[in-house]
Amino acid sequence: MRPRALYQVYQYYAGKGFTAILVSGFLHLGILLFTVVFSSFLLIWIDWAELLECGREDEGTECLSRAIRDDAWDGVGFFSFGYVTVFVTFLLFQLARYVHDLRAMH
């Protein structure tokens, strides 16, 4: 038996079956997708300077609505663009690995 085949048998045993491995991988991808989307939203769509000013004033929801940018893609900085690019690439790599591993197990 080849080492790769032994590894797959171990993964099947440790993962407690094909269905559990399938669900676990899917949930991992879902959590990763949520993390990338939510953190990208916080980096790109929120005007943090305006939000900090809201903390000093007492205007309620009107102040908070000004903190959300109308045209967020105009002021995307290098850090925000780099963050989104790196983590979307990582997400796509994880998706490709998940599909590859499922094909190899089945």
Helix 3-14 × helix 78-105 angle, to 10°:
100
Non-local (6+) Cβ contacts of 97 within 8 A are: none
How much is the pLDDT for 6?
72
Q: What is the largest CA-CA distance in the chain?
A: 70
Amino acid in position 46: I
* CA 75, chain centre distance (Å): 22
pTM: 0.74
Residue 28 pLDDT class (50, 70, 90 cuts): very high
